[in-house]
Chain A
Amino acid sequence: MVLKSIFEIRHGREMTIDNSTIPVWKHRHLLGLEQLSAEEITLLLDEADKYAAHSAAGRLKHNVLNGTLVAQLFFENSTRTRSSFGLAARRLSADTLDFTPSSSSLSKGESFIDTAQNLVAMGARILVVRHSVPGTPQLLTKYTDASVINAGDGAHEHPTQGLLDIMTIRQRKGTIKGLTVALVGDILHSRVARSNIWALKKLGARVVLCGPPTLVSDRWSELGCEVYHHLDEILPEVDVVNVLRIQFERQRSALFPSVSEYFQLYGMTRRRMELGRPEMLILAPGPINRGVELTPEVADGPHSAILDQVTNGLAVRMAVLGLIQGKSAPLPD
């Protein structure tokens, strides 16, 4: 079966999806990509491609989660991920319930476990959780019987972001295996990096981390990544650059002397684009700090896939919401 994805419509490349061997998805939760196998990650990506194809063909709404209640618990600010999950749930005909700590009983001292249990008592079957502390989604799985999706836990994982990054790379490059992918910047505080690293490695990419030693520990080389501190040195070998945001809100102490120095050493500029391969792809999980991690001309230029990432995020989240309820994407009409 051949589906046309939004990417094909935008970029005119054909993509074949083999639908004949779908392994069984057996997870009730999506807490991270570290625990998933290459086959499971590929399954998620294939499912996402199908939803993307449906969208591209104008089939926006699906009867996959008919009436299932999806509660979003965001204990940390988010615009893109939250809207994306909410829209994904509605596209699958789920009901959604949005929870924000400021307008909630958390400000009256209720614990977040109690809050989650209350939402489950209202009938929530899926909890989409973002929290500033690693492991918090995992903690919830012990206290409720709902499915838990990690929408970002501190510096630990952000699995749907990792998936949408990889989906975007796969669209543009056709495959992940054999690519060199550089994650540049604040690896220390980055959940996006951690989700990307495990998934990219499982799918056979070479993973290069680049940033100052205070943000990129040499210990990563013991965990199967290559560590560089000089961006210009590695750029000529790189197929994809994923430009991580500097997380000013997570900086406990100054880990680099100034933004201007950071930009000089690691900012993606036109000059650096010229050091790279002509087909070099630029990703950024956003929100981007223009002029800190990359210049506007790079962010908006032809190598940038930043808006594709956002589009793909919707498809990835539809795939995840469906699969953890045991539902595959519908076949095309």
Chain B
Amino acid sequence: MARLTVIRGGRLIDPDQGLDLIADLWLEGSRVVGLEPPPGAVPDKIIDATGLLVTPGLIDIHVHLREPGNEEDETIATGADAALAGGWTTIVSMPNTRPPIDTPAAVEFVILQAKRAGKAQVLPSACVSKNRAGEELAELGKLYEAGAVAFTDDGAPVSHAGLMRRALEYSKMFDVPIYQHCQVMELTVGGLMNEGDVSLRLGLPGMPPVAEEIMVARDIMLAELTGGHVHIQHLSTARSVELVREGKKRGIRVTAEACPHHISLTDENLATFDSNFKMNPPLRTARDVEAVIQGLIDGTIDLIATDHAPHAPEKKNRELDQAPFGILGLETMMPIVRSSLIEPGLLTWPEVIAKLTIEPAKLIRRQQYKGHLRPGADADVTLIDPDRAWTIDTAGFRSKSINTPYQGWNVKGRAVGTIVSGELRYMLDPHRETVMV
């Protein structure tokens, strides 16, 4: 008989099943048994979850792992390890590596490296276009069969409307979403931050919100034309939220994600000229932050993803134009989401957990076994101490990089246990800053 684990006495939250109760959760091997033990069972392992939230394993559908090609920033192993510390059991890697993930061999490389690491599970996404060049469709069928769960040229948009149309059309037969990084490049030449009052004041070249919105609008219309599924990545402006809302109302297959930084920071932070506030899409205005949060509240925005984008300090701690776009996200999501959404009473824990579990599972079509704790589901579980106070400190990060804008923040809420395939792969001491597993 496979190894039996019981997670005792936690607040079990499974939005997919509508569960929110104090209960035990039984796992057997790599599967969920349920709230009751198998008849006559004696647990091999008991995890005390008193005072903790017990949720389906968190799924981040937007993570940059940088391997192959930029192992100085992150590797599949270090990124998947950072994921564990953030409470994520499954992450979707982005294909903008060197070389890009545009061949079945490259997809398999990511899967094998992740297996070898034995941390969080990594599901690869693959390129929409060959060599991410935005010209010819990549071999989506072969990539799908190799294990790609989504297609994207993330880091750059699919600019060519004709190619985007073909991608949405062709991918329908695999029922796989096309993730789009929405940015009209002609409108953002040289841009380093949001274009607005703040960029005007700081003399920094701006990226106007319409550069995002025009492509959001275009791709929603292309999804309508083709019946394909477009997923809008890191949606950041008020008008983008309206466009997605309208698209959904029309029944178009459009989904969207929001990143923790786009609901917790604004372009005013750039007044420090700190490159840890430089990401793409850029931090927008307080009005946009409010609209994105409203989108999360009313369901226009389906889920939360981090866009974890590690960059080694020698690259990131530079002049603002030289520093690359992007910040870390995996290890800081929980407290940021807590302070932006839960603390002000905008969303409840079960509502937030849905956007971190079942919603992302559905997006990548893994909802049969992931994103919930029904009997037979993958035994991926996250334990969260909802009120644990801590100070964000890069010294303790498992990521290879330290490019976070939240350094030194005193926060509350933290993932304290991460179970992947029935194995407890991360456990934080309840009282100390010490990792027990």
A236 within 8 A of B: no
**Per a CB cutoff under 8 Å, which of A131, A139, A194 touches B201?**
A194
B44 within 8 A of A: no
**A-binding segment of B109-117, B312-320, B373-381, B421-429:** B312-320
A223 within 8 A of B: yes
Given the contacts A112-B319, A133-B319, A138-B273, A194 and B203 also touching, CB distance less than 8 Å: yes
**B-binding segment of A91-99, A153-161, A175-183, A322-330:** A153-161
**B203 and A139 form a contact (CB under 8 A):** no
Given the contacts A138-B273, A223-B197, A155 and B319 also touching, CB distance less than 8 Å: no
B38 within 8 A of A: no
**B200 and A135 form a contact (CB under 8 A):** no
Most buried by B among A135, A153, A220: A135
Interface residues in A205-249 (C-beta closer than 8 Å to B): 217, 219-220, 222-223
In whole Å, how far is B204's beta carbon from the nearest beta carbon of chain A?
Answer: 5
In whole Å, how far is A63's beta carbon from the nearest beta carbon of chain B?
Answer: 36
Question: Which chain A residues lie closer than 8 Å to B197 at the CB level?
Answer: 219, 222-223
**B273 and A34 form a contact (CB under 8 A):** no
**B320 and A134 form a contact (CB under 8 A):** yes
B225 within 8 A of A: no
A63 to B317, CA, bound (A): 38
**A133 and B190 form a contact (CB under 8 A):** no
A108 within 8 A of B: no
**B190 and A156 form a contact (CB under 8 A):** no
**A219 and B200 form a contact (CB under 8 A):** yes
B36 within 8 A of A: no
A253 within 8 A of B: yes
A149 to B272, CA, bound (A): 16
Interface residues in A130-148 (C-beta closer than 8 Å to B): 131-136, 138-139
**A134 and B314 form a contact (CB under 8 A):** no
Question: Which chain A residues lie closer than 8 Å to B205 at the CB level?
Answer: 155, 252
A111 to B315, CA, bound (A): 10
Question: Which chain B residues lie closer than 8 Å to A133 at the CB level?
Answer: 319-322
B42 within 8 A of A: no
In whole Å, how far is A131's beta carbon from the nearest beta carbon of chain B?
Answer: 7
B202 within 8 A of A: yes
Which residue of chain A is the closest to B321 with respect to CB atoms? Answer: A133
A113 to B317, CA, bound (A): 9
Which residue of chain B is the closest to A75 with respect to CB atoms? Answer: B319
In whole Å, how far is B288's beta carbon from the nearest beta carbon of chain A?
Answer: 16
**A156 and B204 form a contact (CB under 8 A):** yes
A156 to B319, CA, bound (A): 14
In whole Å, how far is B371's beta carbon from the nearest beta carbon of chain A?
Answer: 42
B34 within 8 A of A: no
Which residue of chain B is the closest to A194 with respect to CB atoms? Answer: B203
Question: Which chain B residues lie closer than 8 Å to A253 at the CB level?
Answer: 189
A194 to B204, CA, bound (A): 12
Question: Which chain A residues lie closer than 8 Å to B204 at the CB level?
Answer: 134-135, 154-156
Given the contacts A139-B273, A252-B190, A131 and B319 also touching, CB distance less than 8 Å: yes
**Per a CB cutoff under 8 Å, which of B189, B196, B203 touches A154?**
B203
Interface residues in A114-136 (C-beta closer than 8 Å to B): 131-136
Which residue of chain B is the closest to A31 with respect to CB atoms? Answer: B273
A191 within 8 A of B: yes
**A217 and B319 form a contact (CB under 8 A):** no
Our count of residue pairs bridging A and B at CB distance below 8 angstroms stands at 57
Which residue of chain A is the closest to B193 with respect to CB atoms? Answer: A134
B interface bracket (residues with beta carbon within 8 Å of A): 10 to 19
Question: Which chain B residues lie closer than 8 Å to A223 at the CB level?
Answer: 197, 200-201
Interface residues in A146-202 (C-beta closer than 8 Å to B): 153-157, 191, 194
Which residue of chain B is the closest to A157 with respect to CB atoms? Answer: B203
A19 to B203, CA, bound (A): 36
Question: Which chain B residues lie closer than 8 Å to A136 at the CB level?
Answer: 273, 319-320
Given the contacts A111-B314, A134-B320, A252-B189, A155 and B203 also touching, CB distance less than 8 Å: yes
In whole Å, how far is A91's beta carbon from the nearest beta carbon of chain B?
Answer: 30
**A219 and B196 form a contact (CB under 8 A):** yes
**B189 and A134 form a contact (CB under 8 A):** no
A220 to B272, CA, bound (A): 21
A131 to B322, CA, bound (A): 12
In whole Å, how far is A211's beta carbon from the nearest beta carbon of chain B?
Answer: 14
Question: Which chain A residues lie closer than 8 Å to B273 at the CB level?
Answer: 134-136, 138-139
Interface residues in B272-290 (C-beta closer than 8 Å to A): 272-273
A157 to B391, CA, bound (A): 35
Question: Which chain A residues lie closer than 8 Å to B319 at the CB level?
Answer: 112, 131, 133, 135-136, 139
Question: Which chain B residues lie closer than 8 Å to A153 at the CB level?
Answer: 203
Which residue of chain A is the closest to B315 with respect to CB atoms? Answer: A111
- Proximity bits, B391-435, A CB within 8 Å = 1, else 0: 000000000000000000000000000000000000000000000
In whole Å, how far is A222's beta carbon from the nearest beta carbon of chain B?
Answer: 6
Which residue of chain A is the closest to B204 with respect to CB atoms? Answer: A134
Interface residues in B208-240 (C-beta closer than 8 Å to A): none
Question: Which chain B residues lie closer than 8 Å to A113 at the CB level?
Answer: 317-318
Which residue of chain B is the closest to A114 with respect to CB atoms? Answer: B314
**A134 and B203 form a contact (CB under 8 A):** yes
Which residue of chain B is the closest to A137 with respect to CB atoms? Answer: B273
A321 to B204, CA, bound (A): 27
A220 to B318, CA, bound (A): 29
Question: Which chain B residues lie closer than 8 Å to A135 at the CB level?
Answer: 202, 204, 273, 319-320
**B189 and A156 form a contact (CB under 8 A):** no
**Per a CB cutoff under 8 Å, which of B203, B272, B314, B322 touches A156?**
B203
Which residue of chain A is the closest to B201 with respect to CB atoms? Answer: A223
Question: Which chain A residues lie closer than 8 Å to B203 at the CB level?
Answer: 134, 153-157, 191, 194
Question: Which chain A residues lie closer than 8 Å to B190 at the CB level?
Answer: 252
Question: Which chain A residues lie closer than 8 Å to B189 at the CB level?
Answer: 252-253
A132 to B200, CA, bound (A): 16
Instruction: Return 14 A-B CB contacts under 8 Å, by A number.
Output: A111-B318, A133-B320, A133-B322, A134-B202, A134-B273, A135-B202, A135-B273, A136-B320, A138-B272, A138-B273, A156-B203, A191-B203, A220-B200, A223-B201
**A134-B204, A138-B273, A194-B203 known; 10 other A-B pairs, CB under 8 Å?**
A112-B319, A133-B319, A134-B203, A134-B320, A135-B202, A135-B319, A138-B272, A156-B203, A217-B200, A219-B197
3 pairs of A and B residues whose beta carbons are closest in the complex: A135-B273, A155-B203, A156-B203
